[in-house]
Structure 1
Amino acid sequence: MAFITFVLAANYYLCQIAFYNLSFPVSDRMKELKHLNKYFKKYRFKLLVGIFITIVARVFQLVMPSYVKKSIEVVEDFIKNDILQAEAKDLLLQYILIIVGAAILSGFFTFLMRQTIINVSRYIEYDLKNEVFEHYQRLSLDFYKKNRTGDLMNRISEDVNQVRLYGGPAIMYGIQTLTLFVCLIPLMFIKAPTLALYALLPLPVLSVLIYVISKIIHHRSTIVQEFLSTLSAFTQESFSGVSVIKAYALEPKINAELKALANEGKDKSMNLAKVNAWFSPLMILLIGISNIFVIYVGGQQYINGEIESVGIIAEFILYVNMLTWPVAVVGWVTSIVQRAEASQKRINQFLQEEPAIVSHTAKETPIKGKIEFKNVSFTYQDTNITALNNISFTINQGETVAIIGKTGSGKSTILDLIARLYDINSGAIFIDDLPIQDLNLKNLRQAIGAVPQDAFLFSDTIKNNIKFGKENSTDEEVVAVAKKAVVHKNIMDFTKKYDTVLGERGITLSGGQKQRVSIARALIKNPQIYLFDDCLSAVDTETEEQILNQLKKESQDKTTLIVSHRVSSAKNADKILVLENGKLIQQGSHDQLNSVQGYYKELYKNQLSKKEK
């Protein structure tokens, strides 16, 4: 009884380690994973079917050992001449068919089990990735300034994958283990209590050791994964900056740095491999000890007449081997739950981030294009730089306004505030005489065609990059706006023309071509408000003149804001705003500003003299 008490106590302690993690209370440890309850509820029917199938598969598996025992007993009875040869053959054939049938049914239900529970984990992964990505899209620009792209990608890929393992394999193997423990251990004690005791004695030790090893593996694999991110970032940066590396003959330096990183990565990977190497040998050793106990103790009991058949020894050897993976998996499942909890905590940190910019109304608010700034001031939170200081101006619907000023004067900030990428600190912005915060955010941004200063193109065809402005546009519309952006001839020079696939961030094109494709993307949208942020800086003055003439035709009834360093881009505007250090120092038409001394007149003279030279 003392030994039985020890085994039961060890198994109880094992379950505590596996499912409750003695270091923390259950509520604290599992609270992060409560976020997944909505998905478990969504797929509860599939999960319940999967759990039922798992139990059925394990029950059929339990049929086989007992019939192996019966088959050995038939052979023993035949040797003792207790049954005839024909009867022994019939019984053996019957038992073999039952064993084969049970194995087939167990395999079939195991297949169904994976098709339900593992599929559910994939559905949860899909839903969770979409939830994270949709939330990313709602977050404001400040969030992206504070967080690295690599970290954002890791949370939506690696962290979600760790959570998936909890939502599928952990549940599946957990149910398998629980079913076998509940059914098999009592069965073993009913059939041969002493033999069961010795057979199970090494298993708690195995599970505890595997649990400890799994924690070490988790810690070291995390280090390896983090280092791989560092290595990937280094190589990506090297590939992106290969032109600079070659121009400055930095290849030996970069190679030396990569070699040092590779060696460091090798050491970390070897540390992980050394721990992994203990896993299988420990399992084989302790299961081998269990089998030795079964054979030795069972043999002694058979010799002493305490058990009637050698078949029960074979049956128990099968039981022990059936318990091998479930016992080993206890530590593995524990590790999965720990990793999933840590990953879900990282995911929840971002999901709990509230967007700084939200729509305060669900009703439709059509945009016409009148814009008014009243005493607007704005300071960037991340840098504490005041970009605008008490700015006031009015732009009527259909007007073209140019914004001129030195670098850092606040020109681009005005465009960002009109698109409500940020909310102002003080003052008020009105669109069509309504406070910008009272407008439907989706309607506002749908009414804007923006061309940023740093033209961003996706790794897709030129045609599809233009179609981002209007998804259902025809090929004829794409060609038409490309001509207006004066980029059609350049595109036709490419081998695949509009079907040319651009490299990362549009690297296939020159700076001027990227800007013009971005302009075409804005034109095809046909919005009420155009925001051009120094989008002609990379084109020559002749091409600039052609594009400006086309823009003037396209924006007859549209409100247009053009940010530029060139007077040539601004002189034909209805109104020109001149900024300096976040303040509006001049405003008026080209003729008005050129007739008085000030920043604009000096800039015009300087650029005019350079052009004449």
Structure 2
Amino acid sequence: MGEFRTLNWFFSKYKGRYIGGILCLLAVDILQLVMPRLLGLITDGLQQNNMTYATLGWYAIIIVIIAVAIMILRYIWRLLIVGGSRLLEKELRDRFFAHLTTLSPRYYNMHKTGDLMAHASNDINAIRMFVGQGIVMATDSLFMIIASLIVVFATIDWRLSMLALIPFPLMAASVLIAGRFIRERFEEVQRAFSNLTDTVEENFTGIRVIKAFVQEKAELKKFAKANKHNMDMNMRMVKVWGIMEPLMQFLSALSFIIVLYYGGMMVINGEITMGQFVSFNAYLGMLIWPVIAIGWVVNMAQRGTASMKRVNVIMNERPEIYDDNPADIDEIYGDIEYKDLTFRYEPNLPPALTDINISVKRGETLAIVGRTGSGKTTLINVLLRLYKVEDGHVFIDDTDINRIPLGILRESIGYVPQDNFLFSTTITENIAFGVDNYTMEQVEQAARIAQLYDDVMDFPDKFNTIVGERGVSLSGGQKQRVSIARAIMKDPKILILDDSLSAVDTDTEERILKGLSKVRKNRTTIIIAHRISAVKDADQIIALDEGRIVQRGTHGQLIQQEGLYKELYEMQKLEEELERTQ
């Protein structure tokens, strides 16, 4: 149970709630112990014909009062303990999600989304069950077993009690043996559920590709396989858990048979009264339920422990990128410098960037061109500190990037990535994402600069149009322009456009660049593009090839040189001429 030490923060915060709930639970158990004794006294009184109407009435009133008290106290402990487990579920899920947001992109490259979703749903639910119902059953079972044994041994007959307990060691052994299998099989169930969730999530995300390649049947088979594996793993656990309750009921029936036979003879021989016999059977029923409940506790404990272990693995994962000895910086201005940067994504992989030296002053525009896979986006990932680089290689305003607080750095950069991810909300909320206080005038102005305004005004709901998951209701060009407007809306000191004009035509590209010319004033701009028309007006252009800078200069200088830039320029010029002749 050491895995649950990580929840000390919760139990420390809500210990009063749990203590109060357990006290109410124990009070209910004590009142329940009184009921068999009262039934025994009533039985003896009726058998001996010395029970008056008044006495019987008083007994009835007492039983009603006890029943009402049990009802109220049971409601209170359920509210405190079960409600407390719901609080844990909520706060643990909050912490889990918050922790996931701190992890570096590399972590998400290595872990599936469906698996993380299973942790946030199934695993946390299993933890909640143990912290709620598990604690209730464990406390209830332990107290009732001890209290019932004390009562029957002290007040009825020790010989009858000993005989009635003969099946109980078998019940305890069954629980312990089954518990060994439950934890292992529950971990298999959780892994199977994670795989199933990941399969569903992947298919929903890629449904358009599946339909385009007519792979519905293949994906159905893949899903059916994952679904069957999930069922098989659940059935393996059900086979263990399913035998426990029937076995417990069989063993408890043996205990009742012993009591009926031996206890009946004791009543006939006058060794105990009929009332004591009735009371003993009632206490035996109270004793058997807690022993059976131990099986439930073991089941929930094994599930909860397995889930807690899985969650702890993620919660103990440390972000690769974090603030370490940050400089006292409130804002950045936009001077960027790369010094002798060589970068690898993994130590055993070849360099993605080699000997990079770039200097960009505030207000200047840097353009980066190159073939696919040449390292253009990697340069940006390093600047955003999405991946860790060694000290002394990347600087902003002469401060090592590793000393700039992450919050300040990323708030100061407006980034339009290649993958134009949009949230399934309105166009307004997508454009204003990351800006706390904004006006519709600001949103509309950003849309105008991004050449999006006219398109939006053609929609029935205009800026209140819901774009759908990942912006599915918009075209590729519209999604790119929403992303550009979002970056403009941020009013950043550094603006980065990573191949963000590829889905628009050349006329729209020209209008966007013209609109951005005012935005780019007094701010550093980095443009990554495949089309030369998008970068020809930049103050500085670098051409990357296999992670190295192979050319550097202005558009006018580079088209006069033999090399990659001129090749790209002439190729695109030829393509444009071919398009005009068609």
TM-score (ref. length: structure 2): 0.93
In structure 2, what is the equivalent of residue 146 of structure 1? 110
User: Match for residue 596 of structure 1?
Assistant: 561
Aligned to 2:466, the other structure's residue is in SS state: coil
- Taking the aligned partners of 1:107 and 1:205, their CA distance within structure 2 comes to 34
C-alpha change, 1:553 and 1:254, in structure 2 (3 Å) is: same
1:111 paired to 2:75 = yes
RMSD: 2.2
**Match of residue 15 from structure 1:** none
Equivalent in 124, 128, 143 of residue 179 of structure 1: 143
Asked whether the 8 Å contact 2:334–2:361 carries over to 1, the reply is yes
2:395 is aligned to 430
Q: Distance in 1 between matches of 2:60 and 2:167?
A: 31
Task: Provide the C-alpha distance between the structure 2 equivalents of 1:230 and 1:153, rounded to a whole number of angstroms.
Answer: 10
Greater mean alpha carbon deviation, residues 453-462 or residues 286-295:
286-295
8 Å CA contact retained: 2:183, 2:302: no
1:130 and 2:94 correspond? yes
Deviations 1:64-90 (A, max 9, x none): 111111111121121xxxx3xxx5221
Could you give the per-residue CA deviations for residues 385-439 of structure 1, whole angstroms, max 9, x where no partner exists?
3111111111000111111111111111111111111222475111111111221
Of 528, 537, 541, the match for 1:572? 537
Match of 1:448 in 2: 413
Residue in 1 that maps onto 2:249: 284
**CA separation in 2, counterparts of 1:435 and 1:267?**
54
Distance 1:207 1:285 in 2: 13
Residue 282 (structure 2) pairs with residue 318 (structure 1): yes
State whether structure 2 residue 483 is matched by structure 1 residue 510: no
Task: Determine if the alignment matches structure 1 residue 479 to structure 2 residue 450.
Answer: no
* Higher mean C-alpha deviation, range 580-589 or range 216-225: 216-225
Q: 1:301 deviation in Å?
A: 0.6
CA distance in 2, matches of 1:571, 1:233: 44
CA distance in 2, matches of 1:546, 1:32: 59
| Greater shift in the superposed pair: 410-419 or 601-610 | 601-610
Give CA deviations for 1:472-496 in whole Å, capped at 9, x if unaligned: 2222322221222122232233333
Change (3 A) 1:35 1:461: same
* Matches of 1:516 and 1:232, distance apart in 2: 33
Q: Which moved more, 1:582-591 or 1:529-538?
A: 582-591
* Aligned pair partner of 2:463 in 472, 481, 498: 498
Q: Does 1:206 align with 2:177?
A: no
Larger mean Cα displacement after TM superposition, 61-70 or 114-123? 114-123
**Alignment equivalent of 1:161, drawn from 119, 125, 132:** 125
Q: Which range is displaced more, 36-45 or 267-276? A: 267-276
- Cα deviation digits, residues 2-58 of structure 1 (max 9, x gap): xxxxxxxxxxxxxxxxxxxxxxxxxxxx33221112221121111211221111111
**Cα contact 2:115–2:195 (8 A) shared by 1:** no
How far apart in 2 are the matches of 1:252 and 1:156? 30
Aligned-partner SS, 2:48: helix
* 1:76 has 2:41 as partner: no
CA contact (8 A) 1:449 1:530 kept: yes
Report the more deviating stretch, 66-75 or 481-490: 481-490
Q: Give the C-alpha shift of residue 582 in structure 1.
A: 1.0
Paired amino acid for 2:24: I
> What's 1:460 paired with?
425
What letter corresponds to residue 536 of structure 1 in structure 2? L
* CA distance in 2: counterparts of 1:377 and 1:256, whole angstroms: 45
Partner Cα separation in structure 1 for residue 435 and residue 92 of structure 2 = 29
Q: What is the one-letter code of the residue matched to 2:308?
A: Q
Residue in structure 2 matched with residue 557 of structure 1 by the alignment: 522
Paired residue for 1:59? 30
Whole-Å Cα distance in 2 between the matches of residues 567 and 471 of structure 1?
36
Select between 445-454 and 510-519 the one with higher mean Cα deviation: 510-519
SS where residue 353 of structure 1 aligns?
Answer: coil
8 Å contact kept, 2:182–2:302: no
Q: Structure 2: where are the runs of 5+ without partners?
A: none
Amino acid in structure 2 at the alignment position of 1:77: Q
SS of the aligned residue for 2:342 comes to strand
Check 1:451–1:128 CA distance in 2 against 1; reply closer, same or farther (3 A cut).
same
Report the AA paired with residue 587 of structure 1.
R
- CA separation in 1, counterparts of 2:28 and 2:320? 51
Is residue 366 of structure 2 the alignment partner of residue 401 of structure 1?
yes
Give the match for residue 13 of structure 1: none
Q: 1:225 to 1:589 in 2, by over 3 A?
A: same
> 1:93 matched to which residue of 2?
57
Matched, 1:351 2:347: no
**Whole-Å separation in 2 of the counterparts to 1:270 and 1:339:** 15
Residue 188 of structure 1, aligned match among 129, 140, 152:
152
Matched with 2:499 is 534
Aligned counterparts of 1:167 and 1:58: Cα–Cα separation in 2: 20
CA contact (8 A) 2:342 2:355 kept: yes
User: In 1, Cα distance between the equivalents of 2:313 and 2:52?
Assistant: 68
1:298-326 alpha-carbon deviations (Å, 9 max, x no partner): 1111111111x211122122112222331
2:10 to 39, 60, 66: 39
User: Quick check: 1:377–1:425 contact (8 Å CA) kept in 2?
Assistant: no
Q: Calculate percent identity across the aligned residue pairs.
A: 39
Residue 33 of structure 1 aligns to which amino acid in structure 2? Answer: F
Q: Determine the structure 2 residue equivalent to 1:20.
A: none
Looking at structure 2, the residues matched to 524 and 351 of structure 1 have their Cα atoms a distance apart, in angstroms, of: 34
Shift, 1:342, TM fit:
2.5
Query: In the TM superposition, what whole-angstrom CA distance separates every residue of 1:135-190 from its partner, at most 9, and x where no partner exists?
Result: 22222122222222222222233222222233222222211112212322111101
Deviation at 1:225, TM superposition (A): 4.1
Equivalent in the alignment of 1:49: 20
1:333 aligns with 2:304: no
Tell me whether 68-77 or 487-496 shows the greater mean CA deviation. 487-496
Instruction: Determine helix, strand or coil for the equivalent of 2:561.
Output: coil
Aligned 8 A contact 2:118 2:193 in 1: no
C-alpha spacing 1:124/1:104, structure 2 compared with 1 (3 Å): same
Would you say the 8 A contact 1:451–1:519 is kept in 2? yes
Q: TM-score by structure 1 length? A: 0.89
* Matched residue SS, 1:386: coil
Alignment CA distance shift 1:161-1:76 (3 Å):
same
**Secondary structure in structure 1 of the residue aligned to 2:434:** coil
> Hey, what does 1:584 align to over in structure 2?
549
Amino acid at match of 2:420: A
**Measured at CA, do residues 412 and 255 of structure 1 come closer, stay the same or move farther in structure 2, by a change above 3 Å?**
closer
Distance, in Å, in 2 between the alignment partners of 1:131 and 1:261 is: 30
In structure 2, the CA distance between the partners of 1:93 and 1:289, relative to structure 1 (3 Å rule), is farther
Hey, what does 1:18 align to over in structure 2?
Answer: none
Paired residues of 1:567 and 1:604 also in contact (CA < 8 A):
yes
Separation in structure 2 between the aligned mates of residue 92 and residue 207 of structure 1, nearest angstrom: 40
How many residues in Structure 1 have an aligned counterpart in Structure 2? 576
Change in CA separation of 1:438 and 1:233 when aligned onto 2, cut-off 3 Å:
closer
SS in 1 for 2:528: strand
Letter in 1 for 2:78: R
- Trace 1:20-35 onto structure 2 (pairs within 5 A): 30-35=1-6
On the 8 A contact 2:367/2:542 being kept in 1, the answer is yes
Deviations, residues 471-526 of structure 1 (Å, cap 9, x unaligned): 32222322221222122232233333322323322222222111111111111110
Q: Say if 2:82 and 2:132, in contact at 8 Å, map to a contact too.
A: yes
Counterpart code for 2:514: N
Taking a change above 3 Å as real, the CA distance of residues 103 and 214 of structure 1, as seen in their structure-2 partners, is: farther
- Specify the code of the residue in structure 1 equivalent to 2:35: M
